[in-house]
Amino acid sequence: MNILTLGSDLLRQKVEPVKNIDDELRAAAEEMIAALHIGKGVGLAGPQVGFMKRIFVVHVDGDVPRVFINPSITATSTETVKREEGCLSIPGIWADVVRARALQVQAWNEKGRPFTMELDDILARVILHEYDHLEGVLFIDRLSVPKRNRILAKMERQLQGRQGK
Ligand code: ZN
């Protein structure tokens, strides 16, 4: 599974709910977890690998890999935190993003069982970041316009550098 990077139209689409939690979906989830591990990331959403369904996988240090299917964020804390964030689809770029400190998320797991979790800190941040991907939103969209423009200019230079070789 290749991870799509900034510039791909697929990263900008709002994706469809999963209809069936079946073997095909479980295989896709397994592949996404493998791609997440290869990329050494903490979260990966369907659209990042061109799988245009509402699914993401999360694996943070000290926890097991988790699959979130058709997730909804049912509550967020008013308290926010600012923390550095990156994205497997925007390699080499990190920036401070403000997000809710805690949340409640409802989803289905790969076995088709619904669950609700209350999470804070890193896990909450990763969930919000991945959820954004399902809406076609990237973390750089949450930065100030000048900051986002600087990042886009840097990405452009990296791209030209690669093409020049
Ligand atoms: Zn991302």
Query: How would you list the strands of the sheet with 55-58, edge to edge?
Result: 43-45, 55-58, 66-76, 102-108, 114-120
16 CA from centroid of ligand 1 (Å): 18
**Superfamily for domain range 9-164:** Peptide deformylase (3.90.45.10)
Residue of 56, 83, 73, 78 lying closest to 118 (CA atoms): 73
Do the beta carbons of residue 127 and residue 83 sit within 8 Å?
no
SS percent in the chain: helix, strand, coil, step 5? 40, 30, 35
156 CA from centroid of ligand 1 (Å): 18
Is the model's pLDDT at 165 over the cut of 60?
Answer: no
Cα 91 from Cα 29, distance rounded (Å): 22
pLDDT (0 to 100) of residue 159: 78
User: What 3-state class would DSSP assign to 141?
Assistant: helix
Taken as a whole, the chain contains a residue count of 165
- Predicted TM-score of the model (pTM): 0.94
pLDDT tens for residues 102-128? 999 999 999 999 999 999 999 999 999
pLDDT tens for residues 30-71? 999 999 999 999 999 999 999 999 999 999 999 999 999 999
Annotation marks residue 130 as catalytic:
yes
Do the beta carbons of residue 74 and residue 159 sit within 8 Å?
no
